[in-house]
Amino acid sequence: MNGLRSVGILGTGSYTPEKVLTNADLEKMVETSDEWIVSRTGIRERRICSPEEASSDLAFEAAKKALKKAKISAEQLDMIIVATVTPDTMFPSTACILQEKLGASKASALDVSAACTGFLYGVATGTQFIANGLYRYVLVIGVETLSKITNYKDRNTCVLFGDGAGAAVLGPVAEGSGFQSFDLGADGSGGQLLSQPAGGSRMPATAETVANNLHYLTMAGSEVFKFAVRVMNSATETVLEKAGVDKEEIDLLVPHQANLRIIDSAIKRFGLSEDKVAINLDRYGNMSSASIPVALDEAVEAGRVKDGDTVVLVGFGGGLTWGATLLRWNTTEA
């Protein structure tokens, strides 16, 4: 990275709630069907947190696993970045709440709000602190409790989303390995295509906003779909070009898990076999910022990633935002 210290992922972890919400369950709640959901999205079930669980609780479980795999303690962390659009509270940040839960007393902490692209924004941010020598260990977590802001009377959105958390510990790795390139982008003109209208300073919470369901997420599905197909492909092409890597060299693609048709478009575009793509959409639905790190952790656990592999992470989300990174996998600390 231009003479800077090489940075990679030293350990991953994930956590999803126990409760499973199936398509059959949703058939009893709204006018939909298993066939309709599967054919249009590829989703069969999703995980839903309990009323008592908050985002920091899910993040805590994922973080513990990532720290264990990275063989470092919470006290060694220099920074915690939590990517989420469903924070425990507006402030303090969920990262600060997590810092206290973990006992990571020397870590700085902040939240990142980039919706489904949040984990990639967090990884790109954390990488810079390590690359320039300011920090050694950064914990990045994508976590969402989207069930808290999903309207289960809206059949167009309630079938899509689930809860979960995925974590990665970043640290220095051997020169030439780790993150090779990043591509981050945003198009604020499309912000209203995927949003939560009320609850901020523009539309503070009132009895009226609650009565009008304005605290639930809203999405213009067809417009977001077209945007997603375009930027998933272009962002992947950009990180390949920046890293000087051919598409044939991709060992594993870990895409945001929003819709199987979007993932299939990327598979065809880059000529990948399905064994080179991480897909868990059918079991978890769209977990926003948690989708990519959970899919990555599951791939690692299944032995689908080995040192030296070329791994591409790519996603898109509200904002509108997009992001991608390419790394040469190496979990050995330098």
Active-site pick, 49, 96, 116, 158: 116
What is the residue-averaged pLDDT of the chain? Answer: 97
Range list for CATH 3.40.47.10 in the chain: 7-174, 179-328
Q: What would the pLDDT profile of 62-78 be if each residue is shown by its tens digit?
A: 999 999 999 999 999 99
> What's the pLDDT tens digit per position in 169-189?
999 999 999 999 999 999 999
Among the options 23, 259, 280, 286, which is catalytic? 286
Q: Would you say 14 and 62 are in contact if contact means Cβ atoms under 8 Å apart?
A: yes
- Is 286 annotated in the active site? yes
> Average pLDDT, stretch 261-275?
96
The reported pLDDT for the residue numbered 3 is 72
Residue range 14-21: mean pLDDT, rounded: 98
Mean pLDDT in residue range 281-288: 98
Q: Is the dihedral of CA 86, 88, 92, 97 positive or negative?
A: negative
Q: How far apart are CA 4 and CA 169, in angstroms?
A: 19
| Catalytic (active site) residue 215 | no
pLDDT at 1 over 50: no
CB 123 within 8 A of CB 178: no
pTM over 0.95, yes/no: yes
Tokens of 155: 């059949």
116 has catalytic annotation: yes
pLDDT of the residue at 2: 60
The residue from 96, 158, 256, 280 that is catalytic is 256
% of the chain beyond a pLDDT of 70: 99
Kindly state which CATH superfamily the domain 7-174 is placed in.
Thiolase/Chalcone synthase (3.40.47.10)
What per-residue confidence (pLDDT) applies to 232? 96
Among 307, 302, 312, 313, CA closest to 330: 307
Architecture of the domain delimited by 179-328? 3-Layer(aba) Sandwich (3.40)
